[in-house]
Structure 1
Amino acid sequence: FFQRTSKLFLSERASWVQLKEFARKNAANTLSVANMVMGMASILSSLNGHHYAACWLVLIGYLLDLADGAVARRLNACSALGAKLDDFADFTTFGIATSLLLRTPNILDNILCMCYVLSVFIRLCFFSSGIPFMYRGLPCIYSSAILACLSLLTGGNMAVLRLTAVVMILFMVSQTLYPHDRVLESQAWKKVIYAGGIIMVFCSSFPPVCLYYLL
């Protein structure tokens, strides 16, 4: 009886250890998948005319993307799969979903949408600075956050969004170096600001709160 009980206990303990290891390895991947889900939800919202929701879903994806890399490094769970998932999620949320915020029946606006998606694709595929803690070209996550916030603040004013999108495209494909600011691994005050960003999601019925994401 004692031997069977001991074996059962050891088996359950081993299963628990395996479960913890699985959770450690996939915590960051879960955040990347959640980011992709936000992007797909934003796409559907845009296609169904729910512009306000589409913008906020992009901003939620922005928060998730800031977290996934930090979680992977903190848990020592960086992997090739994680990097691919992150790129797919970024392309979905900050490429396709964000471009649809610019969509109108106007053919020129549709061309602008395609140019924006293409610039995000180029940014993700080909722009690696080779310099630690530096980006070459403005990261698409920031350009998307700016567009989503301006869309909310201006009520979807297309003149403002067109101009901003063109500027963001130029910044993304530029050769300018930008510092890699690891928000969740930096000073404590930046972590507090990040936590504030999460709280702002629950105040999304009040459009001006999106100004917080431009800090």
Structure 2
Amino acid sequence: MVMGMASILSSLNGHHHAACWLVLIGYLLDLADGAVARQLNACSALGAKLDDFADFTTFGIATSLLLRTSDLLDNILCMCYVLSVFVRLCFFSSGIPFMYRGLPCIYSSAILASASLLSGGNMALLRVIAVAMILFMISQNFYPHDRVLESQAWKKVVYAGGIIMLFCSSFPPACMYYLLWSVSYILFPTSLWSSKV
């Protein structure tokens, strides 16, 4: 949630580059928070609600502001993006263990933030990606609950690579890493990312 609020403030102050990176840091933290809570035996109903608030702040509001311009249609797109994240968070349960209905919003946010950084904030490209991500999030397709840090060893390596890229890599390779990671979840959700705890 702190990353999301910091990203919102960065966007509002015109620091687009920082706003994108804060969303990507939130992406890494969101993939870890459930595993940490379970490891510490600190799971609770309050924690689940706080997680949803944090997701909405970071992957809804903060990410939508990456699309904001003075144009009315861009502002409508921002609102549609926030609403699709809201719908996705409210109705993610599929009734099937370890499965979501609709693309988890962390992946759409990582794709938008990475694409924004790589393209220098090219709004034409971001509009197309945002519309595609909205459709993925509100779709009825099933996506696996990818417990990255509680699953196969290679997933932990991918996660560790994300942390290394964040701190040790130059900016284009790191953005490509997050972009490929997130796109692989969309393209190969079951074959690559289904949870085998």
TM-score (norm 2): 0.88
Q: How does 1:124-139 map to 2 (within 5 A)?
A: 124-139=89-104
Structure 1 residue ranges without an equivalent (≥5)? 1-35
How many angstroms apart in 1 are the aligned matches of 2:100 and 2:90? 13
Structure 2 residue ranges without an equivalent (≥5)? 182-197
CA shift for structure 1 position 57: 0.2
> Percent identity over the alignment?
88
Are 2:106 and 1:149 equivalent residues in the alignment? no
Identify the match of residue 43 of structure 2 among 65, 73, 78: 78
Instruction: Render the CA deviation track for 1:24-83: whole Å, top value 9, x for unaligned.
Output: xxxxxxxxxxxx000011001111111111000000000000001111222222100100
Are 2:130 and 1:165 equivalent residues in the alignment? yes
Q: How many residues align?
A: 180
- 179-188 or 88-97, which deviates more: 179-188
CA shift for structure 1 position 107: 0.5
Moved over 6 A (4+): none
The residue aligned with 2:161 is: 196
**SS of corresponding position for 1:129:** coil
User: One-letter code of the match for 2:46?
Assistant: L
Are 2:6 and 1:38 equivalent residues in the alignment? no
* Rg (Cα) greater in structure: 1
User: One-letter code of the match for 1:191?
Assistant: K
Q: RMSD value over aligned CA atoms?
A: 1.1
Identify the match of residue 105 of structure 1 among 54, 63, 70: 70
- 70-79 or 202-211, which deviates more: 202-211
User: One-letter code of the match for 2:156?
Assistant: K
How many angstroms apart in 2 are the aligned matches of 1:101 and 1:204? 23
The residue aligned with 1:33 is: none
Instruction: Render the CA deviation track for 1:72-131: whole Å, top value 9, x for unaligned.
Output: 222222100100110000000000000000001110000000000001011111231010
The residue aligned with 2:142 is: 177
Q: How does 1:197-212 map to 2 (within 5 A)?
A: 197-203=162-168, 206-212=171-177
User: One-letter code of the match for 1:91?
Assistant: F
Are 2:15 and 1:56 equivalent residues in the alignment? no
The residue aligned with 1:186 is: 151
**SS of corresponding position for 1:88:** helix
How many angstroms apart in 2 are the aligned matches of 1:142 and 1:46? 20
Q: For residues 78 and 200 of structure 1, do their structure 2 counterparts lie closer, same or farther at Cα, with a shift above 3 Å needed?
A: same
**SS of corresponding position for 1:202:** helix
**SS of corresponding position for 2:140:** coil
CA contact (8 A) 1:56 1:204 kept: no
How many angstroms apart in 1 are the aligned matches of 2:165 and 2:10? 20
